[in-house]
Amino acid sequence: MIACLLIPGFELRAALRSRPRLAVVPAALAPEPGREQLVGPVTAAAEAVGVTPGMRLGEALATCPQLVLVDPDPAGAEQEWEGVLRRLEDAGFGVEPVDLGAVVFETTGVERLYGGVEAALRKALASVGPAWDPRAGAGQRRFVALAAASVALPGQAVIVEGREEQSFLEPLPLSLLPLDEGRYAELEGLGVRTLGSLASLPGAAVSERLGPEGKRAWSLARGGERRRVHGRSPAAELAEALSFPEAVGNELTLRRAFGALLDRLLARPERERRPFRKLALAARLVGGGSWRRTVTLREATAERGRLRSALGPKLVEIPAPVVELRLEAVELAEHEGQQLALIAPEGEETDALLREGLRQVRASAGGGAVGVVVEVAPWSRIPETRALVVPRDVR
């Protein structure tokens, strides 16, 4: 079976690790500087007085004047999430992260180890720890497992058998589907308020009214596709940090600090001369909170000049003076270089470049970002029903 482990509001929980007293008062994750002014995850106390995630900042403060805004800490959240994933991997689970606070894995390989699906889910919950209030769900498909985890209570595991999938999904709300806010309102205006009512509509009609986004939501309401879980590659575990005795906001100083961090990272023997595919630049800000940007390189490289060109411009986006600057190697390429042929076979170089580009997209946007169009109903007059996009293996 496919299992999903879910930690709602993970980014807010990670930001509150150093301020636990705020977990019991109305609090919400503040919008990042320069982004749309929408509040992030909220505490249970804030939700009880009417503040919901995604609400406009002004509306949230008008609803609850006592609302405490917590500065985002993306670097801290990434580190905490990496710790959660490693604890699951230490317990024997091959995890595929979906987003911060959501991860899927298959139970087939560990059922005999722990004595069944339910025991394996209990082990996963115990590995994460009760402080995060994790919940788990399992089913034959990814979306069913996600839906099961969404309705579970903290520390609880919900298992949905294959024959129970449709009856389980039917009464659940549309908020489980990845739709824009306008789509929810449009569907509710048509009288569609549950997954069951959406799944009962003709797929062609949904596709014609809502387009590809609605077609995918309709498919998920019926259980979604059957797709295997691909465990992630081992983390690189390469990082360099530089702390400042006083807060630094000067761009020239930050560039020199970044150059020193890059030199130290390139000199690390653990890299084994492998080039970088994906790096992250993070900063601890003077007023609390943090800043983080991830860069996926178009072509894996260890050339200092190219790395400076790719990451250096990100320094101007730091919104406040910095007390610590950190450079992380998120993913390394498998090869040390390129072996050139005297006479390359026709088309081989193009195929190699295409495969490298697909790997780059997967590293940047996740395993489901690379797909291939498969024609299934060429006779249909509706473009959205003539073909399907299925995941493509680029290894």
Per-residue pLDDT tens digits for 358-391: 777 777 777 667 777 877 677 777 777 777 777 7
Please give the pLDDT value at position 394. Answer: 53
Please give the pLDDT value at position 110. Answer: 86
Please give the pLDDT value at position 345. Answer: 62
Instruction: List CB contacts of 85: < 8 A, sequence separation 6 or more.
Output: 95, 97, 103, 232, 235
Residue 129: which H helix or E strand, with range?
none
Please give the pLDDT value at position 236. Answer: 63
Q: CA–CA separation, 360 vs 370, rounded Å? A: 10
What percentage of the chain reaches a pLDDT higher than 90? Answer: 12
pLDDT over 70 (residue 395): no
pLDDT over 60 (residue 339): no
| Stretch among 67-76, 159-168, 266-275, 331-340 having the lowest mean pLDDT | 331-340
pLDDT over 70 (residue 175): yes
Q: What is the pLDDT of residues 10-53, one digit of tens each?
A: 988 888 887 888 888 889 988 877 778 888 888 888 888 888 88
Q: Name residue, tokens 């761009």.
A: 251
Q: CA–CA separation, 278 vs 330, rounded Å? A: 5
Q: Answer whether 328's CB lies under 8 Å from 239's CB.
A: yes
The closest of 201, 187, 98, 86 to 145, measured between CA atoms, is 98
Q: CA–CA separation, 10 vs 2, rounded Å? A: 21
pLDDT over 80 (residue 173): yes
Q: What is the pLDDT of residues 208-254, one digit of tens each?
A: 888 888 888 888 888 888 788 887 776 667 889 999 988 888 888 89
Give the chain's domains with CATH numbers.
1-169 (3.40.1170.60), 170-221 (1.10.150.20), 238-332 (3.30.1490.100), 348-391 (no CATH)
Q: Token digits for 284?
A: 């601890």
Please give the pLDDT value at position 350. Answer: 75
The closest of 143, 140, 139 to 102, measured between CA atoms, is 143
Order of strands across the sheet that contains 2-6: 95-99, 102-106, 2-6, 135-139, 157-159
Mean residue pLDDT across the chain: 84
Please give the pLDDT value at position 385. Answer: 74
pLDDT over 70 (residue 65): yes
Q: CA–CA separation, 79 vs 82, rounded Å? A: 5
Instruction: List CB contacts of 98: < 8 A, sequence separation 6 or more.
Output: 4, 104, 146, 366
Average pLDDT rounded to a whole number, residues 60-81: 87
Q: What is the pLDDT of residues 111-132, one digit of tens each?
A: 888 888 899 999 999 999 888 8
Average pLDDT rounded to a whole number, residues 270-277: 85
